[in-house]
Structure 1
Amino acid sequence: MNSADLLTDAFDRIREAVHEAVDGLDRDALHYRPDPGANSIAWLVWHLTRVQDEHLAELTGTESLWTGRGWYERFDLPIDRQATGYGDTPAEVARIQAPAELLAGYYDAVHAHTRRFLGTLTEADLDKVVDENWDPPVTMGVRLVSVIADDLQHAGQAAYLRGVFTRSAAAPAAARH
């Protein structure tokens, strides 16, 4: 197994976690927040996808799928086109409202784009410096691992929220086990 294969496996695991977190959820579950300052499943999945999309756009020198392939328009959210969720206030988190199919569809599009990109990488590509604003400078390999770590954390948070919701009084009785 080479580095690109290893990275592909990691991103495939994120995709699985995203689908496990959102598949079959209704609006109430996707937008449930255990308190007003908490993130929702919809926000977490949207945010992790936006971050992956933006970093991939930077690495490939292309426009993000969010702005370049119509995802911003499909979501039709009252947010700036360039928003990624970094630093969002509770009110901004609440604006991220989307059905599971749309969230999963956007993630799947970004995931497919990521896999295509990873399929082109060589070992030498991973050592290329992509951000000199850090000490030490960030390489492509380090940036990809950073995206994986961030995405897995947010996917895990979404899975946890799914469990909290399904066991809560907010869930319909049929959803509680």
Structure 2
Amino acid sequence: MDDVTTYPARDLLLDGFGRIRDGVPEVVDGLSAEELLWRPDRDANHIAWLVWHLARQQDDQVAHLAGADASVWTGDGWVERFGLPYPPDAHGWSMSSADVGRFTVADARLFAAYQGAVHERTVAYVEGLEATAYARVIDRHWDPPVTVGVRIVSVLDDAAKHLGQAEYVRGLVQRRR
């Protein structure tokens, strides 16, 4: 037995979040602004909104877990770079179809860059967690109460779902060509 302590949860989470980081550039690469904003129907989410939202929810939740003063979105100037028609603290939860329709694309390269910055903060947070930290309760409003580990898995799950949705819409966009 060697002296190296392993943290399987950490390693699995880092792998999962790495897949999100790798998937974002793949889903937006080569698409025009019009294609990024195309909606399968008037109430569906488009690729741009899905990718932005998956990064924003990860950013906000990891910032909260890490006790950061600000999310990467507001603290590192991404809100200004994107120039979206939403309040600075918007993250996509509870947005209406009309809200999604107001989304704009200033530069398609911003999606991967922003997700990359969020990923860096996520990695730093996960790498800094001791194995016992995963069991710490952070929200008693649920039954059972939410722990750090459950919240991190929830963040990863939400990001993976939205990335999959964006990949599906990309397939629809490509079939339209």
Take 1:100 and 1:137, find their aligned partners in 2: how far apart are those partners? Answer: 39
Q: More displaced, 97-106 or 36-45?
A: 97-106
Match in the other structure for 1:175: none
Structure 1 residue ranges, 4+ long, deviating more than 3 angstroms after superposition: none
Residue aligning to 2:109: 101
1:46 match: 52
How far the C-alpha of 1:143 sits from its partner, in A, is 0.3
**Residues 15-34 of structure 1: matches in 2 within 5 Å?**
15-34=21-40
1:55 is aligned to: 61
2:172 aligned counterpart, secondary structure: helix
CA shift for structure 1 position 17: 1.9
Matched, 1:156 2:152: no
Which segments of 5 or more consecutive residues in structure 2 lack a partner in the other structure? Answer: 1-5
Structure 1 gaps of 5+ residues are 172-177
Cα offset for 1:68?
Answer: 1.0
Post-superposition offset of 1:100: 2.1
Aligned to 1:77: 84
TM-superposition CA deviations, 1:94-147 (whole Å, max 9, x none): 222223201111101000111111111111011111111111110010001001
Instruction: Report if aligned partners of 2:25, 2:111 keep a CA contact under 8 Å in 1.
Output: no
Alignment of 1:165-176 (within 5 A): 165-168=173-176, 171=177
1:78 match: secondary structure: coil
TM-score, normalisation: structure 2: 0.92
SS in 1 for 2:42: coil
CA contact (8 A) 1:4 1:122 kept: no
Letter in 2 for 1:164: L
Residue in structure 2 matched with residue 111 of structure 1 by the alignment: 119
Asked if 2 retains the 8 angstrom alpha-carbon contact of 1:17 and 1:156, the reply is: no
Question: What residue identity is the alignment partner of 1:97?
Answer: T
Determine the C-alpha separation between the residues in 2 that align with 1:27 and 1:13. 24
Give me the TM-score of the superposition, normalised by structure 1: 0.92
Tell me what 2:151 maps to. 143
Q: Which residue identity lines up with residue 56 of structure 1 in the other structure? A: V
Name the residue aligned to 2:129: 121
Query: How many Å separate the matches in 2 of 1:113 and 1:26?
Result: 29
Residue by residue, what CA displacement relative to the aligned partner does 1:12-64 show, whole Å, maximum 9, x if unpaired? Answer: 01112212211221111100101110100000000010000000011011110
Q: Select which of 35, 40, 43 maps to 1:37.
A: 43
Equivalents in 2 of 1:74, 1:85: separation in Å? 17
